[in-house]
Amino acid sequence: MSYGRKLYRSRQGEMLGVCQGIADWRDLPVGPIRLLFIIIAVSTAIVPVLLVYIAAGFILPIEPTGTQRKEARGGFWGKQSKEDFKDSFKKDRHHTVNDIKEEFDDLKEKVSKMEADVFDKEKEWDNKFHSTDSES
């Protein structure tokens, strides 16, 4: 997922998205990047690499989405043809219909859990208030 081969912090990263961003930038799997980061961190007493990682997390811009992505390519179709854009979009695993559906289902589940938590707390408060009203 490279947008003009510019380095971005990934939105799908584990912590700050730096390793995922580097992997996306160079079209590499993220596992070896993370492993290399861990090996370097352990061999340098962790603190220097951790500071560089955190600094990169704050300095690197977060990857663009939606219409920002179009602008990052230089307009709607960018400098590539419409067919090239379609091919690159089809190969982009983060934007397939199944991935979008899975993300939607995950979000729907999270919202349902949050609503259930809110309603449970609301019922709890109602019970507390009603029990104090009846005692008075």
**Percent of the chain topping pLDDT 70:** 68
Closest CA to 37 of 24, 52, 27, 25: 52
| Helical (H) or strand (E) element with 5 | none
Considering only 3-17, 22-36, 83-97, 111-125, which range has the smallest mean pLDDT?
83-97
Domain boundaries of the chain, sorted by first residue? 1-63
pLDDT at 127 over 60: yes
Q: What is the average pLDDT score of the chain?
A: 77
Calculate mean pLDDT across residues 99-106: 80
pLDDT value at position 90? 63
Cα–Cα distance measured from residue 41 to residue 51, given in angstroms and rounded to the nearest whole number? 10
User: pTM value?
Assistant: 0.46
pLDDT value at position 76? 38
Express each pLDDT in 29-77 by its tens digit: 889 999 999 999 999 988 999 999 999 999 999 887 754 444 444 443 3
pLDDT value at position 106? 87
pLDDT value at position 133? 59
